[in-house]
């Protein structure tokens, strides 16, 4: 038996995602035994910034956080900018915080957390361009490879993926965190 | 004599700008008699989102707001995301507010205003994805074609360009605004 056997992890994204920030954590959680599900406001096939194609498993309007053990938000500036404007995506994201479930966020994936208003008092990192936005939304923003704050795992860029994946698998394995809350 | 004879307008941008949000206001202010200058953290040629190429006139490290009568910040998500991370671009932008000089900002061009911390108490609009960021930075964000607040002219998308250009030329023609301040 592997660490995440029986766990279900939602990946929420749209077109313009940072390719490796989908494929690398997806590989890490599935290799650890979890089932990964691609949730999106779009249907059909999504295309990453560098051309990687990924098939959407479920529309975000039909998805419920209660069906998943954790959420991963990949980056990519276009993906991050679009996703935050979708109200269902914002509500789906917020629901993981309300349920105290682990959330992994990397690069430009963090913008939607400001729209979901879930970063107040949380320590986290992101792509550096989001620093002011996350601080203004109440986060304690730090410049580190990976930051873990009660089930919230965050990293800055694709270079941080090895550290991000390790902590992500660890936090999902631990399950719900009381202080991971909206 | 035209409305903006003798005026000098800086356009601050980098690669990935929204093509028409550079070319259309540039055309409007130069047709009105102003001199337009392309200022950038990059040198050489910039390429817009849709392929338009524009030559940089001056590096932002050598540029001083005191040499210009107004500033224009075009959009484009990649341009807006990159520009805000450059400290000289942020300082150059802030100096126009400190001097009470007109500033035109459209679409994703507004992000840098949060890093410059100059939107507190100002009424403005932007591309809708920036709404939360601008509100968290203290702006009174509204969803209108063009918003004029004491020398700060803002619009949402390329569709708003005719209204944006008209107000931009009008505000630059009026000169300094006391309440346009950092």
CATH architecture of A8-174: 3-Layer(aba) Sandwich (3.40)
| Active site residues per annotation of B | 107-108
Question: For residue range A147-166, what is the model confidence (pLDDT) as tens digits?
Answer: 999 999 999 999 999 999 99
Chain-chain contact of B128 with A81 (C-beta, under 8 angstroms): no
What is the chain B residue with the closest CA to A113?
Answer: B132
Q: Is B111 helix (H, G, I), strand (E, B) or coil?
A: helix
CA A141 to chain centre: 17
* B81, B115, B132 ranked by CB distance to A114: nearest: B132
Task: Please give the pLDDT value at position B1.
Answer: 53
Residue position matching structure tokens 């599935």 = A30
Task: Please give the pLDDT value at position A2.
Answer: 75
The residues on A that touch B, with CB distances below 8 Å, are 77-78, 81-82, 84-85, 108, 111, 114-115, 128-129, 132-133, 136-137
ipTM, 2 dp: 0.94
**Among the listed residues A100, A75, A93, A95, the one whose alpha carbon sits nearest the alpha carbon of residue A151:** A100
Residue position matching structure tokens 């030559």 = B55
- For chain A, the structural domain boundaries read 8-174
Taking the C-alpha atoms of residue A39 and residue A10, their distance in angstroms, rounded to an integer, is: 6
Residue A1 has pLDDT above 60, yes or no: no
Taking the C-alpha atoms of residue A169 and residue A75, their distance in angstroms, rounded to an integer, is: 18
Taking the C-alpha atoms of residue A93 and residue A115, their distance in angstroms, rounded to an integer, is: 10
Residue B2 has pLDDT above 90, yes or no: no
The CA–CA distances, whole Å, from B123 to A33, A92, B51, B135 equal 51, 30, 32, 10
Question: For residue range A14-48, what is the model confidence (pLDDT) as tens digits?
Answer: 999 999 999 999 999 999 999 999 999 999 999 99
Q: Are B49 and B81 in contact (CB under 8 A)?
A: no
Number of A–B residue contacts, CB under 8 Å: 42
Taking the C-alpha atoms of residue B132 and residue A141, their distance in angstroms, rounded to an integer, is: 17
Q: Are A171 and A4 in contact (CB under 8 A)?
A: no
Helix H or strand E encompassing B79:
helix B77-83
pTM, rounded to two decimals: 0.95
What is the chain A residue with the closest CA to B120?
Answer: A136
Q: Is B50 exposed, middle or buried (0-12, 13-18, 19+ CB in 10 A)?
A: exposed
Residue A179 has pLDDT above 80, yes or no: no
């Amino acid at each position: 038996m592997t660490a995440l056997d029986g766990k279900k992890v939602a990946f929420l994204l749209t077109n313009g995602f940072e390719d490796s920030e989908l494929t690398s954590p997806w590989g890490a959680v599935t290799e650890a035994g979890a089932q990964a599900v691609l949730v999106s406001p779009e249907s059909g096939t999504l295309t990453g910034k560098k051309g990687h194609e990924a098939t959407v498993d479920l529309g975000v309007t039909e998805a419920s956080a209660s069906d998943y053990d954790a959420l991963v938000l990949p980056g990519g500036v276009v993906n991050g900018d679009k996703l935050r404007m979708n109200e269902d995506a914002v509500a789906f994201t917020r629901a993981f915080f309300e349920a105290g479930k682990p959330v992994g966020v990397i690069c430009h994936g963090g913008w939607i957390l400001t729209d979901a208003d879930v970063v107040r008092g949380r320590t986290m990192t992101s792509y550096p361009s989001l620093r002011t936005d996350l601080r203004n939304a109440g986060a304690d923003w730090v410049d580190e490879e990976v930051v873990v704050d009660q089930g919230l795992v965050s990293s800055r860029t694709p270079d941080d993926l090895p550290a991000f994946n390790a902590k992500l698998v660890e936090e999902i394995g631990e399950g719900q965190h009381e202080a991971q809350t909206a």
